[in-house]
């Protein structure tokens, strides 16, 4: 089983990318976390360019989502919303609307911020966008505030309560894949 991990941050030392690395350590044996590294290459959405064949970076994203059993997105908060680069990639992934790769896909949202609140508003915004795309978005998330103190450089989550919260969320995400596998 494979979980596609998408970080909404392009920053080299991103707390959100580190949080995804931490999440990999919380997955059971046999479940692989693949970190998508293509965000920087996705061009600005232009409906005139949204034809076949899609731009290579867009096709790679759509394929990666389609082939994953579930998706885990870690978003920073920029001005109480999600970063433009992440929204742009999701806009591309949302087309064609009826058959987009996120439709029916189990997705969980987490987030980290330098400040106190752990990107809670951005997480809510992201859930709204994903729901509009037809994803099976899990309720709730994991909010890592003051992330510099809660994540170590190797991707370890240092807070016990947050570790438990992440375990619960990932368990719920993997459980969401079971009905899909049964139906396949």
What are the residues binding ligand FMN (CB under 6 A)? 9, 11, 14-16, 76-80, 112-115, 117
| Nearest distance, CB of residue 1 and ligand FMN, angstroms | 26
Rounded least distance, CB 181 to ligand FMN, Å: 32
Query: Closest CB to ligand FMN among 15 and 127?
Result: 15
| Cβ 108 to ligand FMN shortest distance, Å | 17
Residue (130 or 143) nearer to ligand FMN, CB = 143
Omega of the bond prior to 96 within 30 degrees of 0, cis?
Answer: yes
Q: Which is nearer to ligand FMN, 98 or 116 (CB)?
A: 116
Question: Which CB sits closer to ligand FMN, 69 or 125?
Answer: 125
From the CB of 22, what's the least distance to ligand FMN, in Å?
13
| ∠ CA 182-22-13, rounded to 5° | 130
CB contact at 8 A, 58 and 45: no
How many Cα atoms within 13 Å fall on the side-chain side of residue 134?
12
> What is the C-alpha separation between 92 and 94, in angstroms, rounded?
5
Q: Which two tokens stand for residue 14?
A: 């991103």
- Tokens 């949204």 -> residue: 50
């Amino acid at each position: 089983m494979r979980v596609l991990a998408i970080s909404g941050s392009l920053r080299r030392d991103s707390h959100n990318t580190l949080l995804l690395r931490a999440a990999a350590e919380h997955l059971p044996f046999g479940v692989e976390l693949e970190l998508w590294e293509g965000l920087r290459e996705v061009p600005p959405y232009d409906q005139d360019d949204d034809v076949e064949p899609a731009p290579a970076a867009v096709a790679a994203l759509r394929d990666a989502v389609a082939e994953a059993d579930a998706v885990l997105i870690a978003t920073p908060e920029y001005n109480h919303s999600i970063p433009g680069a992440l929204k742009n990639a999701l806009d591309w992934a949302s087309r064609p609307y009826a058959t987009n790769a996120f439709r029916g896909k189990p997705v969980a949202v987490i987030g980290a911020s330098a400040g106190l609140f752990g990107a809670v508003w951005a997480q809510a915004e992201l859930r709204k966008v994903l729901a509009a795309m037809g994803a099976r978005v899990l309720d709730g998330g994991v909010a890592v505030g003051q992330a510099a103190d809660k994540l170590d450089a190797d991707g370890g989550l240092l807070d016990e309560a947050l570790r438990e919260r992440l375990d619960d969320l990932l368990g719920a995400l993997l459980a969401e894949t079971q009905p899909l596998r049964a139906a396949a």
